Structure 1
Amino acid sequence: MANLNLMQLLSLALVLTASMNATASATAVKAIYWIDQPLFPASSINTSLFTHVYYAFLAPNATSFKLCVSNSTNITLTNFITTFRSRIPTVTTILSIGGSNATPFSLIFSNITTRATFINSTISVARAYGFDGVDLDWEFPQNSDDTNNLGSLFQEWRIAITADAAITGKPRLVLTAAVYFAVYFSVSDTPWTYPVTSINQNVDWVNVMSYNFHGSWNNDTGAPSGLFNPTRNISVVDGLKSWIGAGVKPEKLVMGMPLYGMTWQLQDPNVNGIGAPVVRPDPGSNGAMAYFQVVDFNKQRNAKVVYDVDTMSVYSYSGSYWIGYDDPITVTAKVGYAQALSLRGYFFWAAGYDTNNWKISTQETKQIDHSEQEYACKSASNSVLDWKWQIKVEL
């Protein structure tokens, strides 16, 4: 396992970012999901850092197939839209439907009649509150029937929102979907693939959830959102490679990044690298910590911070506690990589997990000074840079 110091890993990040055309336009999508919570109201979001803000989540009723909006949710939705309509700069607001909790999407999407009921409800609610778009977060289709129905849904949804725009005279609603890190998925050894043709034709873009590669379900430490993985095809690169290789247009892909880390208690504090045996997920909540909590943990416990070039990730440890996460440097590398691939942009999960001064999110708005770029590149190992660059080219 190769470890780099801060300057060396920053060099890799800068090289990846420098690979894009210097005259290229700014990333089109800089998005973040917001979850309704009292500790971090929507008004706390710094709109200068993002182009799109997602409201997460609404869910359809299991029998009516229409979106459920309670009295309390009605207030939240109204306040959410009011907040962003009064802000400068303005952002595009998107209503996200679903989430990780069980939602009866397989049943709803199984026939054209129930799909139509669902679609009409999403448009009606989005228009009623003033959202600019709708987003589907289905985690996840289970078989080829589900993915075929998903392809039909996207097509019918596109037709419906186009008709709505023609009738109302309003701008067409944006249509997006949150998807698995890879274009393929396997449940009980039954593989399936997302409906690539329908995505290209009908969806504005998909938010690729390039995270949760390693977590509380594992019995060893690992990078939760590593750009690379030298032992398995579970990484940001492998996932994006699968989407592009399957024929999805790069401009239809938005790369996801987590604003949280995964935690473990080491079996042996002296064995503390990636792949070290663990006892259980700890500390944090169910083996997870928001990035601002990771920063506090590192400071309070004087934790050792390690940048790992094999995965292009960062981890820290103190005693028997171990945390894998992303920080401004690794996120910069990822965004540079996404730009080199001409992706549509990036998104974060989720608002409120960054530091108070938006340490990670702010990093992505900075312009890289080319003289600093040249200096940093000279300090890195040529062999490491060549190896990483070759992997990028092979995409």
Structure 2
Amino acid sequence: MITSRTFRAALPAAVLVCALAAALPAQASPADPRDAPAPRADTRTASAWLPYWDQENGYQDALRHAGRLHTVSPFWYKAAAADRIEGHPGAGDTRIIDGLHKAGIHVVPTVMDMDTMKPGELAGILTTPARRAAHTAALVRLARSHGYDGIDLDYETITTTATPDYRKVRSAYADFVTGLCAKLHAVRKQCVVTVSPQTPATGRIWDYAAIGRAADRMRIMAYDLHWSGGPPGPLSSTAWYDEILRRATALVPPGKIEMALPGYGWDWPADGSRPARHVTWKQAEALRRKVGAPYALDPESATPHFTYRDGTEPRTVWYQDARGTAAHLAAVRKYGVRDTSLWALGFEDPGLWNVLAQQ
């Protein structure tokens, strides 16, 4: 998931923030993407995030699989204050934007909130009308710049269920999304909202029904069932997908949902005594072959895993590949959800794209 926990583990420490101007200029966009011929529903059913720390590799990956992608979301921006959006290195790269557009792919950059504001600051913006209006205006300015087709809102540190103001903040975020999407639609831009899985114990900060009414698409980050800071285990499972989508499709039309899939894994100490190392599918498979571990697909979760020794330390790796994704997609399609997202371009098993084409 593009959570703060995954983001911090996957992000090289040396890659920090490069600030943009506080007021992003509104630039005229090229022809509105909504006026272009609609991509064929049977081929372009995927979107994907483009990591800025591996930008060229991810960009070339997108071009190779343009026939499957309707949208790419470069992971380019962060909310720094009510009236300020800042850019990561490479944000707004016109070569990438133009290249993706030429390939028929919408460019909907992600704005995230991890490690950017003090605890409670985002909640304060959402619950203060003047600050919320300023933040909405800053996001609309961003969406209108660089020929973008909209924005993807990935706010994950709003608050937790333990705070006294939880219900107030939850309602304020729903109102914020509703207002933002309306303003984006008024300037013919897409409004995409990324959320975490909602179960009886998780993801309650997001009002799925309100987000589903307002947004063009709601992306559910269906990974990190087991994460870097917890005990070893699968990143996702068919049973978990069933639980997530049973709840989500009762609140949001399936046509508006994108189920976001993992293209990576975690390499833990076998006893889970320390955080896991992030591995892409390619790294996990190279390691499996190097240590001579047999390929094994866990029958319960439908995810590959193996164990090995690093010196004297036993370790275990759980990750996802095309074979596991095929099993998971069967659970997704059962609920009428056709669209998927990938975290992230350049991480995944290349065979994943054939799996997406067959589903």
Q: Fold match, TM over 0.5?
A: yes
Query: Residue 317 of structure 1 corresponds to which residue in structure 2?
Result: 307
Distance 1:160 1:77 in 2: 25
Q: Which amino acid aligns with 1:237?
A: D
CA contact (8 A) 1:338 1:345 kept: no
Using the TM superposition, give the Cα deviation of residue 185 of structure 1 relative to its aligned residue in structure 2, in angstroms: 5.3
> Which of 97, 104, 108 is the equivalent residue of 2:111?
97
Query: Residue 263 of structure 1 corresponds to which residue in structure 2?
Result: 267
Higher relative contact order structure (alpha carbons within 8 Å, sequence separation ≥ 6): 1
Higher mean Cα deviation, 100-109 or 298-307?
A: 100-109
- CA distance 1:329–1:69, shift in 2 (3 Å): closer
What SS does the corresponding residue of 2:194 show, helix, strand or coil? strand
Query: Residue 86 of structure 2 corresponds to which residue in structure 1?
Result: 68
CA contact (8 A) 1:205 1:253 kept: yes
Q: Which runs of 5+ in 2 are unaligned?
A: 1-39, 160-165
Q: Which amino acid aligns with 2:353?
A: S
- CA distance 1:240–1:38, shift in 2 (3 Å): closer
Distance 1:344 1:106 in 2: 33
**Post-superposition CA distance 1:218-276 (Å, at most 9, x none):** 24x31111222xxxxxx22222222234x22222221111111111222xxxxxxxxxx
| Structure 2 residue 141 is the aligned partner of structure 1 residue 127 | no
Distance 2:157 2:355 in 1: 32
- CA distance 1:192–1:327, shift in 2 (3 Å): closer
What SS does the corresponding residue of 2:168 show, helix, strand or coil? helix
Query: Residue 279 of structure 2 corresponds to which residue in structure 1?
Result: 289
| Structure 2 residue 347 is the aligned partner of structure 1 residue 328 | no
Using the TM superposition, give the Cα deviation of residue 53 of structure 1 relative to its aligned residue in structure 2, in angstroms: 0.4
Q: Which amino acid aligns with 1:93?
A: V
Distance 1:146 1:302 in 2: 50
Distance 1:27 1:65 in 2: 39
Higher mean Cα deviation, 142-151 or 235-244?
A: 235-244
What SS does the corresponding residue of 2:186 show, helix, strand or coil? helix
Amino-acid identity (%): 16
> Which of 149, 163, 166 is the equivalent residue of 2:186?
163
Using the TM superposition, give the Cα deviation of residue 343 of structure 1 relative to its aligned residue in structure 2, in angstroms: 1.3
Query: Residue 31 of structure 1 corresponds to which residue in structure 2?
Result: 47
CA contact (8 A) 1:354 1:361 kept: no
**Post-superposition CA distance 1:370-394 (Å, at most 9, x none):** xxxxxxxxxxxxxxxxxxxxxxxxx
Q: Which runs of 5+ in 1 are unaligned?
A: 1-23, 165-171, 229-234, 267-276, 369-395
Q: Which amino acid aligns with 2:124?
A: L
Query: Residue 248 of structure 2 corresponds to which residue in structure 1?
Result: 243
CA contact (8 A) 2:222 2:261 kept: yes
Alignment of 1:330-369 (within 5 A): 330-355=324-349, 358-365=350-357, 367=358
4+ aligned runs moved over 6 Å, structure 1: none
Using the TM superposition, give the Cα deviation of residue 55 of structure 1 relative to its aligned residue in structure 2, in angstroms: 1.2
> Which of 292, 305, 311 is the equivalent residue of 1:302?
292
CA contact (8 A) 1:27 1:339 kept: no
**What is the TM-score of this pair, normalised by structure 1?**
0.70
Query: Residue 55 of structure 1 corresponds to which residue in structure 2?
Result: 74
CA contact (8 A) 1:215 1:263 kept: no
Distance 2:152 2:206 in 1: 16
What RMSD, in angstroms, separates the aligned Cα atoms of the two structures?
Answer: 2.5
What SS does the corresponding residue of 2:50 show, helix, strand or coil? strand
Distance 2:326 2:216 in 1: 25
Give the length in aligned residue pairs: 304
Greater Rg by CA: 1
CA contact (8 A) 1:253 1:345 kept: yes
Distance 1:116 1:185 in 2: 31
**Post-superposition CA distance 1:52-85 (Å, at most 9, x none):** 10011312232x5232248x555x4323312213
Query: Residue 151 of structure 1 corresponds to which residue in structure 2?
Result: 174
Distance 1:184 1:27 in 2: 34
What SS does the corresponding residue of 1:341 show, helix, strand or coil? coil
**Post-superposition CA distance 1:174-233 (Å, at most 9, x none):** 1111101116655xxxx84522332232111211011111133224x31111222xxxxx
CA contact (8 A) 2:217 2:257 kept: yes
**Post-superposition CA distance 1:98-131 (Å, at most 9, x none):** 1543444322222232222222222222222011
**Post-superposition CA distance 1:32-65 (Å, at most 9, x none):** 1011125634531222331110011312232x52
